[in-house]
Amino acid sequence: MSPMEVLFVDDDEDVRDANAQALDLQGVSVRACASAQEALDILTDTFSGVLVTDVRMAEMDGLTLFRHVRRLDPEIPVILITGHGDIEMAVGAMREGAYDFLSKPYAPERLLAAIRHGTAQRRLVLENRRLRAQAAGPGDAAESLLIGSAPAIVRIRELLRHVADADVDVLVRGETGSGKEVVAQVLHRLSRRRDAPFVAINCGALPETVIESELFGHEAGAFTGAQKRRVGRIEHADGGTLFLDEIESMSPAMQVRLLRVLETRQVAPLGTNELRAVDLRVIAATKADLGDPAMRARFREDLYYRLNVVTVNIPPLRERREDVPVLFAHFAGLAARRFGCPVPPADPALWRHLMGHDWPGNVRELAHFADRCVLGVQQAPAGDPPARAADAGSLPERVDRYEADLIREALAAHGGDIRGTLETLGLPRKTFYDKLRRYGIDRQVYARGDAGAETPVEDAGI
């Protein structure tokens, strides 16, 4: 999540500079403008922040600027700074769509709160626009579905973009709940096959008596009870993508038939000798290491090498703890909108649990935990320990992780407030910001009321 962005407009240089400096100390990215026209020259409908403007200015006043902004994009939050005699006028502007107004003199905390809330609203507006655009076209599914900034996730996104339009089969490996089907969906959406079917089948969920018919289809009369022709999942995926989850559970007989399909790109339904050509990409997912010699008794080596053209290894959540707060905020935001409940406050016990728990169920477990927190039926255990040092490697890495966890805990305790966090940690401001950059910590994730402000698509989250 990027820092809050503000355009601050005032023709009084002293007032302009003082406010810009105060906001900058709070971690807000400020661009100060000496005139309304200067602000209009900068603003576009993709502006992701808040406009703060004085009402009384020479040349073009704040109300005229506000109306120009309304024509550019009526959903840009505009905060008006007014003198006592301008309050009635400002109230009228709010009826026209202004976001808020502050009467001079105002407390800096009041301005910061208005900016924070306006930023959350603006981000939500822009995210909804992005989702609508994505629904109308392919968009960048890698960014919208694979949430996280851990190096392994960044590499996966790059790999999927690179191979999306290459007609190669892909093997996805990861623990239960780590997001294997999400990776398959991203690959499908990025590819030229995006407008054709994405057909998913769980090989471990279908009994042996059903899976052959499910995969290959059958003709009427092929067996007792086959009263009409049924198109199999492989044929149904023609032109698109076939996703085979838990492929390690497929029987040896089915593995032989699948290998034949992969080699010939032809399928023969039960009850007929007719071969039907299929054009598809196969993505297989497994939680086992199919390359392990111990798997040879259960999984064919030739099928493994046929699927293993491109392999995507998804790291478990415990190996990318830096993504846990962002993923939790995302899932909590989705749950809050789905259930009509507020996002719970980010108290220290919750963040200790998020960063200290191993998440054996991975992203799926984290999503369900977020649901329960929003519903108020589960809170993080108060005694959860911080992340274990054994999870890291060298001593410097363990020290860095411990320091980053302490910073995150302090930010959570103070709702992202810098002053309180600095007092708790006993750090100089510059040192603190250096450490935020070093550890890739975005303090806005911990700001109370901002969690869930961004709304990537609901099935997101590798």
* Calpha distance 165→110 (Å, rounded): 51
Mean pLDDT (whole number) for 428-450: 74
Mean pLDDT (whole number) for 69-88: 84
pLDDT at position 393: 54
pLDDT at position 286: 95
105 vs 284, higher pLDDT: 284
398 vs 177, higher pLDDT: 177
Question: In the predicted model, is pLDDT for residue 134 greater than 80?
Answer: no
Strands, E assignment, 287-425: 310-313
- b/e for 338-375, b at 16 or more Cβ within 10 A? eeeeebbebbbbbbbbbbbbebebbbbbbbebbbebbe
**Lowest mean pLDDT, pick from 291-295, 368-372, 411-415:** 411-415
pLDDT band at 340 (very low <50, low <70, confident <90, very high): confident
For 46-71, the pLDDT digits (tens) are: 898 999 999 889 889 999 999 999 88
pTM listed for this prediction? 0.56
CB-based contact 282:262 (threshold 8 Å): yes
Other CB atoms within 10 Å distance of the CB of residue 324: 24
Question: In the predicted model, is pLDDT for residue 389 greater than 50?
Answer: no
Question: In the predicted model, is pLDDT for residue 95 greater than 60?
Answer: yes
3 state DSSP class of 7:
strand
**Lowest mean pLDDT, pick from 124-138, 246-260, 392-406:** 124-138
* Calpha distance 380→369 (Å, rounded): 9
Strands, E assignment, 59-197: 78-82, 100-103, 170-173
Mean pLDDT (whole number) for 374-402: 59
pLDDT at position 68: 92
* Calpha distance 245→256 (Å, rounded): 17
3 state DSSP class of 317:
helix
CA gyration radius, the chain: 27
- Domains, the chain: 5-136 (3.40.50.2300), 141-315 (3.40.50.300), 318-446 (no CATH)
**Lowest mean pLDDT, pick from 208-222, 372-386, 430-444:** 372-386
* Calpha distance 341→452 (Å, rounded): 12
90 vs 45, higher pLDDT: 45
Mean pLDDT (whole number) for 280-299: 92
Average pLDDT along the chain: 82
Question: In the predicted model, is pLDDT for residue 206 greater than 70?
Answer: yes
